[in-house]
Structure 1
Amino acid sequence: MLIKILSFDQNAFAVMLSGNSNEENIIHAMMLGAKGFVGKPFSKDKLSYYIQKCKHNNSMKAMA
């Protein structure tokens, strides 16, 4: 799914959410272009962190 998303927009702020958060999966997702990785069960704080980071990223793009 990540590859499909990034094929539409290489600069998409994609964060992977997965129940299988072993180190190999995290590294693979980041190498493919994920901006973050949240393992399940996830905390509201961690999800909120990535949402804020995404908003900031979009604001910076709009100013460029």
Structure 2
Amino acid sequence: MFSVYGVVMGIEKDCGCFGNAVKSDFGWGMVGRNLLLLMTTIFLEKSKKNYLSAEGIILTNK
């Protein structure tokens, strides 16, 4: 939400979300990245599978 607000209001500074690791200027790229992260989170939460856990990897390889 804040990234959309920043684009609409014309904020042109780095938000600092990822520190110095990634440049995070307000813009449609930031909005797209945040939507992708949100969709990934929702998918993983709804799937009820442990894709990224050691337990999930062990159970699926049996």
Q: Which category describes the TM-score, using the shorter chain as reference length?
A: 0.3 to 0.5
| Higher-strand-fraction structure | 1
Relative contact order, higher structure (CA 8 A, sep 6+): 1
TM-score by length of 1: 0.37
Q: TM-score, normalised by structure 2?
A: 0.38
